Chain A
């Protein structure tokens, strides 16, 4: 059973993502911002991290960087959930070590489709 860490400061988004993923058979752990996600990541591993960008305390880019510095997350797929697909965003994401991005708003089906490409 694959497990996913879903990070978003919006409760409605978290619920939606969580529900979608669980319906597709994944186990989901939710975090309310980067800090929360980082803490929850300690001492365990996930098959995928989905993270929003704009969040209080610690944003998505910072979270990505910190995770990449952590042993068990060096190669974990990290997908940025972003509201824009600008070059700047991609630059930043790539530089931080993200695996890819998904633009919001997204169709729940697409989420599953994209996830299936990275989770093995």
Chain B
């Protein structure tokens, strides 16, 4: 069964390949889940429920892989499952190397599944992983001390009878008091496991004595020992479970002739692969498969204490519950929905515009209807946009693993703290923000956080902290990458800049010095590690973020650490805009950034330094941005000069924009200019007006910034 590679696709007339896609998705989720659980695992206090959950992930992948014929995946997961099973039964104690090996196996599985899906990539060599896992399963690097092991209550084992290997009727060995018994251990895949029991007897003085008996040829896979002991059987089992599972141990009266080969060596079973219990409810009477099973056991279903497993009744990862209340939708469908809503908004705006001149009394119903339409469209827009919003946790999720691997590689100790995981952002942004953020985190780890010894020498905690924080501020989402490392060195940056021929006078403010990092080709790293040094500089990070309509800022305190703040517009597929006229052209301002507007006359605008214009607004002077100049709008009609100031605010700065007229407010569908063209300075996007023409949406942030220089 399923031992050919992917040739299971037409097992007996049923085309299994139709289920592959679901399996791949499911396996992908299980792998992600498993990785997260492994990273969160506290080795010193591993939670039963967590271990079970990790086990189930591997188990589930194995089941599907075996069923659908992906035998390489099945093999690796089978081994992982064996290890995880021992861990969850407390037969092995979790260690960091185990977690590492499991994480690496997860990576290998991902790659193998990728290949099966046709994503290409190299053949994955799992031989080393398999060897390592087997060694761990065999107890190499054995657990330190026999921890108080109330054996993890296994759900399946109802009865504590120490003779699960059935078919040995009567004459069960006396269970306590000084006696000699035969200890039968098996079936074992690794015979040397039984040797551990011998060691046990050596270590524990009053356990008794043990000596090996010759192997019985009819009992392949079993080891036999003669044991003289006064110890209680169940005590011994408790000790043994460290090395072999309970059900692999049988105590027999010494000298007992070996009974008929104990069943359950499923030599027969795998060929049939199924079986029925005698006299079980619903069992077929006539043609029942006489697989000799547990005859000695009382057959009644015992009402055993349900779910002895400490965690079973808890609702764990609500994956199952969630299944019922969510549905998967392809991204294309959601995008299409958003586009259609966008078109609807444009049409509604057009109707609103064209109906402005109507007499509300005469056209009462129409006007009312249009007002309702306006509200409905807004509500629809909000609802639809929220479909695309997903929490930052999806972005943050990859960092624990990445940072762990990176810190290990660099020999640093770093802890990752995340804040604001629930902050939502548009799905489209998620994909694009991940790379820049990754680079920033790598930077912090590589160049920011010092080596543990250095940190201690400086009086800092040995473990450095990198914080990822997300929050909403105004109409933006702000993502910060902070570290408590060495921070930026002002002098170094200045000299590096001068080396490169960049004008860097000493009078530069700190903020300006930190911004030097964004210059192309800038890296003050002493060594360019292969981690963050290759080609991807901060300049690329800044460019990527700018292309998303965002900004990056750096703050640093030498010796204490650094903070990089990335600010991105929240999804702005549809927004409220104010349209203004400049010359013959129409521009759109995001309504959320408009503070106020007022008329001005020539005298109210003053000049500073020959070129900077300012205007007095109540008791402050505000810089003036003349849109006509910024956008070189041709002016044909000199009578109609600019007379209106629109005060806008962005990035905690305000400017007054000089325009000719205010045209109106409307909902506006934001179209991306870069799809077919490129990023335009001071412009964040474009939209289609009610009359079908394109209007540019202004990037208030960049206009505010430009006024500062």
Contacts and interface: CB of A to CB of B under 8 A. Distances in A.
A117 B166 CA distance: 26
B59 interface: yes
A100 B276 contact: yes
Interface in A72-87: 74-79, 83, 85-87
Nearest to B307: A62
B301 interface: yes
Nearest to B323: A32
Nearest to A33: B320
A69 B14 CA distance: 36
B273 A11 contact: no
B307 A99 contact: no
B320 A95 contact: no
Contacts of B276: 99-100, 117-118
Contacts of B319: 9, 56
A65 B303 contact: yes
Most buried by A among B158, B164, B281: B281
A61 B155 contact: yes
Interface in A16-33: 16, 19-20, 23, 32-33
B242 interface: no
Contacts of B320: 9, 32-33, 35-36, 55-57
A46 B66 CA distance: 28
Contacts of B64: 10, 12-13
A51 to B, nearest CB: 13
A69 B274 CA distance: 25
B22 A118 contact: no
A36 B319 CA distance: 12
B297 A95 contact: yes
B306 A13 contact: no
A56 B63 contact: no
B2 A105 contact: yes
Nearest to A96: B301
Given A85-B266, A94-B280, A15 B156 contact: no
Contact of B14 (A23, A58, A74, A117): A23
Interface in B1-56: 1-2, 11-14, 16, 18-20, 22-23, 26, 53, 55-56
Contacts of A54: 55-56, 59-60
A98 B59 contact: no
Interface residues of B, number: 68
B269 A103 contact: yes
Contact of B157 (A56, A59, A68, A92): A92
B263 interface: yes
A104 interface: yes
B60 A10 contact: yes
Contacts of A108: 11-12, 14, 16
A10 B63 contact: yes
B157 A19 contact: no
Contacts, number: 207
Contacts of A92: 155-158
Given A19-B14, A35-B320, A101-B274, A62 B312 contact: yes
A77 B283 contact: yes
B214 interface: no
B546 interface: no
A59 B164 contact: no
A75 B282 contact: yes
Contact of B302 (A19, A56, A85, A95): A95
Given A87-B294, A108-B12, A97 B301 contact: yes
A76 B20 CA distance: 32
Interface residues of A, number: 65
B301 A65 contact: yes
Contacts of B293: 87, 90, 94
Nearest to B265: A87
Nearest to A8: B63
Contact of B269 (A85, A91, A93, A96): A85
Contacts of B273: 85, 102-103, 106, 110
B280 A83 contact: no
A106 B2 CA distance: 8
Contacts of B55: 54
Given A16-B16, A109-B12, A87 B247 contact: yes
B284 to A, nearest CB: 5
B169 to A, nearest CB: 15
A89 interface: yes
Contact of A65 (B12, B19, B306, B316): B306
Given A23-B14, A101-B275, A105-B66, A117 B287 contact: yes
B283 A89 contact: no
Given A10-B26, A19-B14, A36-B320, A86 B282 contact: no
A109 B19 CA distance: 16
Contacts of B18: 19
A56 B23 CA distance: 18
B274 A103 contact: yes
Given A107-B12, A118-B283, A62 B62 contact: no
A100 B22 contact: no
Interface in B260-288: 263-264, 266, 269-270, 273-277, 280-284, 287-288
B280 A98 contact: yes
A37 B312 CA distance: 15
B274 A104 contact: no
Contacts of B164: 87-88, 91
Contacts of A75: 281-282
Interface in B281-315: 281-284, 287-288, 293-294, 297, 299, 301-304, 306-307, 312, 315
Most buried by A among B18, B56, B274: B274
Interface in B56-84: 56, 59-60, 62-64, 66-68
B155 A59 contact: yes
Contact of B247 (A20, A58, A88): A88
B244 interface: no
Contacts of A85: 264, 266, 269-270, 273, 275
B277 A91 contact: no
B11 A91 contact: no
Contact of B277 (A10, A83, A99, A104): A99
A33 B323 CA distance: 11
Interface string A32-61: 110110000000000010001111111101
A68 B301 contact: yes
Contact of A100 (B13, B67, B157, B274): B274
Contact of B26 (A12, A33, A35, A53): A12
9 contacts: A36-B320, A48-B282, A62-B155, A86-B266, A87-B166, A88-B164, A94-B294, A97-B281, A97-B301
Given A16-B16, A57-B312, A88-B247, 20 more contacts: A12-B20, A12-B26, A15-B19, A19-B18, A33-B320, A58-B312, A76-B282, A77-B282, A78-B282, A85-B269, A89-B156, A95-B304, A97-B280, A99-B282, A100-B283, A101-B274, A102-B273, A106-B1, A117-B276, A118-B276
Interface of A: 9-13, 15-16, 19-20, 23, 32-33, 35-36, 48, 52-59, 61-62, 65-66, 68-69, 74-79, 83, 85-110, 114, 117-118
Q: List the 8 closest pairs (A to B, CB-CB), nearest first.
A: A77-B282, A92-B156, A12-B23, A97-B301, A100-B276, A87-B264, A109-B12, A105-B67
